[in-house]
Amino acid sequence: DVKVTQSSRYLVKRTGEKVFLECVQDMDHENMFWYRQDPGLGLRLIYFSYDVKMKEKGDIPEGYSVSREKKERFSLILESASTNQTSMYLCASSSPLGNTIYFGEGSWLTVV
Amino acid sequence: DAKTTKPNSMESNEEEPVHLPCNHSTISGTDYIHWYRQLPSQGPEYVIHGLTSNVNNRMASLAIAEDRKSSTLILHRATLRDAAVYYCILTPGDKVIFGPGTSLSVIP
């Protein structure tokens, strides 16, 4: 079975903390994505990467950064967490153009 | 960015067919049409995708208009497990945009 694994299912962090959300895929996919999901807003794309060390901003990159040092791993970084970053974060991967996107189970982040 | 529009919510009786519409008038010739669904507290899961021809799999059917500006996801017999948020998305290049989705309720 194909798998996208997000390191933490539930996290609680304090305002101002640096937060790392890790994602690993085992399908040798070139493309990886980070979304956040909030009630009524659907999935909003934060960043995506189409190759190692390559990254592109999505629709809402402010307050986030990403790292892709290896093909299978894509990390989302909140440099200084704020309460408005409380959300569910979803990682996904796919092979190029037109192929299926596989999602992780999601990471629920609460910033207090 | 290629965008899709669809109803916010729909309702169906159990064991009846469900037709979920999606409009994508700005679709380009190389865009694939994908459908995903998301059950509560889970990540979205793949349902079906197509380019030009209608497609069938064990979960659903996808009917694509001849001009490709709209498509319909067909669940042949809705079950309670089909209650979810359904997303119709296009894949222009490597960036994938999801909108709010259509929330499907299934009435026993």
- At A78-87, the pLDDT tens digits run 999 999 999 9
Question: Taking 90 as the threshold, does the pLDDT of residue A40 lie above it?
Answer: no
What is residue A11's predicted lDDT score, i.e. its pLDDT? 96
B80: left (phi over 0), alpha (psi -120 to 50) or beta: alpha
For A40-44, A102-106, B58-62, B79-83, which range has the lowest pLDDT when averaged over its residues? Answer: A40-44
* Closest C-alpha to B55, from B73, B69, B37, B42: B73
Question: Can you give the pLDDT at residue A39?
Answer: 84
Tell me which residue of B84, B94, B93 sits closest to B35, measured CA to CA: B84
Interface test with B, best of A3, A46, A87, A100 (most B CBs within 10 A): A100
What pLDDT is recorded for position B20? Answer: 95
Nearest to A96 by CA among A23, A46, A8, A27: A27
pLDDT, block means (10 residues), chain B with 108 residues:
78 95 88 90 91 92 95 95 92 67 93
The residue of chain A with its CA nearest to that of B48 is A100
Amino acid at B64: I
With a CB cutoff of 8 Å and minimum separation 6, the contacts of B66 are none
